[in-house]
Structure 1
Amino acid sequence: METHATQKVEEKLFQNRYRVDAGRPHIRIKDAELCTHQCSQKQCTVCCPAGCYTQEGNGKVVLITDGCMECGTCRIVCDEHRNLDWEWPRGGFGILFKFG
């Protein structure tokens, strides 16, 4: 009987590398007040697989793009408000996938 080693998704993601483009985030929240006061579900804080979005105790959504996998999930879940400026990172920056 053949056995397969199992590895958690988090362990696989840890093998990828990310090159931060200091001072030039490729995603920005357009209006932080809109996130705080008009977005009731704050889906970005639970849907982002890299955990780039967090919600503070006062309801404010904070975005740190370091580690972003450029999957586009945030653009999909923020479709109602369209409150993101999203672009690809400059060449040589962003996620560097180890396995393709």
Structure 2
Amino acid sequence: MGDIQDKVNIDDKLFLNSYDVDTTSHLAIKDSTVCSNCNEKVCTFICPAHVYEWKDAKLIVGYEGCLECGACRIGCSHDNIDWTYPRGGFGIQFRLG
């Protein structure tokens, strides 16, 4: 095993990825009132890319940084996230990550 100094943290690995961002989001909230009444707000902490953020009592979806893992749609107990893959050629391009 290598030294602890040989290990790369997750932020460094994510930095190696690149994105070809589409102008149209592949993520959508089906009903914003459901999110407003949600006590768990799972999407804000289950997403490893922190795509979902509450700002001024509104859920902001920063689809541009999505890792396309689908954790948000699985974690949302209200099935309130419309998740699809980005259009062909758009989205994340993993590089040694």
Seq. identity, %:
46
Q: How big is each residue's C-alpha offset from its partner over 1:20-70, in whole Å with a ceiling of 9 and x where there is no partner?
A: 101x10010111111012x10101101100010001242x22111011010
Paired residue for 1:17? 18
Where in structure 2 are there 5+ consecutive unaligned residues? none
Secondary structure in 2 aligned to 1:50?
Answer: coil
Tell me the number of residue pairs that the alignment of Structure 1 and Structure 2 aligns.
96
1:44 — aligned with what?
Answer: 43
* Counterparts of residues 46-85 of structure 1 (less than 5 Å): 46-58=45-57, 60-78=58-76, 80-85=77-82
Higher helix share: 2
Segments ≥4 residues shifted beyond 3 Å:
1-4
The one-letter code sitting in structure 2 at the alignment partner of 1:93 is: F
- Cα pair distance change 1:36/1:92, threshold 3 Å: same
| TM-score, normalised by the number of residues in structure 1 | 0.87
**Given the two structures, how large is their TM-score scaled by the length of structure 2?**
0.89
Q: List alignment gaps of at least 5 residues for structure 1.
A: none
Aligned alpha-carbon RMSD (Å): 1.8
SS in 1 for 2:35: helix
Distance 1:6 1:86, change over 3 A: same
